[in-house]
């Protein structure tokens, strides 16, 4: 299948591991030039290890996305490498498992800053450029937690609900300029971050895998590739009439 993305340029945040890495390499395998962004300096090693296996060019940039000055540097770097940014994937995020009454103001501010504020700030900077070219595709990684809430991570759920709302606002604001904005709401995906959550829940006496499989209608946990395949579709010509949507990728865990 021809996706119509070859030669496009993309920024993918939170690209060191898990969903972000999978999306970055999926796009690059179809000829997209990708700037992988992460706070972890090991992000540079991904470019070295993976460049020979993909068709598009890979670049890396280490930064803290919650700092607006850093975002200015990131945008300038991307302009130097690409001239034009066609695709932005806002994936960077963190999750904290903690009882509702134990969450501190600092906990709340940190999760909301990384998961939501950074998405707004980077989107604002990149959309300004996309408007000049009258085309762009933005994908925000939310979560099914943003649809239904989480008692042990309400700040995470709130940030992901905010992403869904922000996605709709961006679609309203920029759709007529041919800038499509959509969100993906992953379910239980086998990533390093999810493994950390599993371990904490095991320490609380739970059996998270069994609990999730009782609810997931496809009777399997998700993989990063399940999400990156959806991201590729949303970047492609095949999704040209999809805008302002939040697509669940969760095996039927959530159906709303």
Which residues belong to the active site? 156
Question: Are the CB atoms for 235 and 3 separated by under 8 Å?
Answer: yes
CA-nearest of 4, 7, 16 to 224 is 16
182 class by beta-carbon count within 10 Å (0-12 exposed, 13-18 middle, 19+ buried): buried
Question: Are the CB atoms for 163 and 120 separated by under 8 Å?
Answer: no
Query: How many residues appear in the chain?
Result: 256
């Amino acid at each position: 299948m021809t996706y119509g993305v070859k030669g496009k340029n993309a920024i993918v945040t939170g690209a060191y591991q898990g969903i972000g890495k999978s999306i970055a390499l999926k796009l690059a395998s179809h000829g997209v030039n990708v700037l992988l962004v992460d706070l972890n300096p090991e992000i540079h090693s991904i470019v070295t290890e993976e460049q020979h296996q993909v068709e598009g060019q890979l670049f890396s940039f280490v930064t803290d996305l919650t700092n607006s000055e850093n975002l200015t540097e990131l945008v300038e770097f991307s302009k130097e490498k690409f001239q034009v940014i066609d695709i932005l994937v806002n994936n960077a995020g963190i999750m904290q498992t903690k009882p509702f009454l134990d969450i501190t103001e600092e906990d709340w501010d940190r999760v909301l800053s990384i998961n939501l504020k950074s998405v707004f700030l980077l989107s604002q900077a990149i959309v300004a450029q996309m408007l000049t070219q009258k085309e762009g595709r933005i994908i925000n990684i939310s979560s099914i937690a943003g649809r239904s809430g989480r008692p042990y991570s309400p700040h995470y759920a709130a940030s992901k609900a905010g992403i869904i709302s922000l996605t709709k606002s961006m679609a309203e604001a920029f759709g007529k300029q041919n800038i499509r904005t959509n969100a993906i709401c992953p379910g239980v995906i086998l990533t390093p971050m999810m493994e950390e959550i599993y371990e904490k829940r095991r320490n609380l006496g739970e059996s998270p895998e069994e609990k999730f499989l009782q609810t997931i209608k496809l009777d399997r946990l998700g993989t990063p590739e399940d999400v990156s395949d959806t991201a590729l579709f949303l970047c492609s010509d095949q999704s040209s009439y999809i805008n302002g949507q939040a697509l669940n990728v969760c095996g039927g865990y959530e159906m709303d």
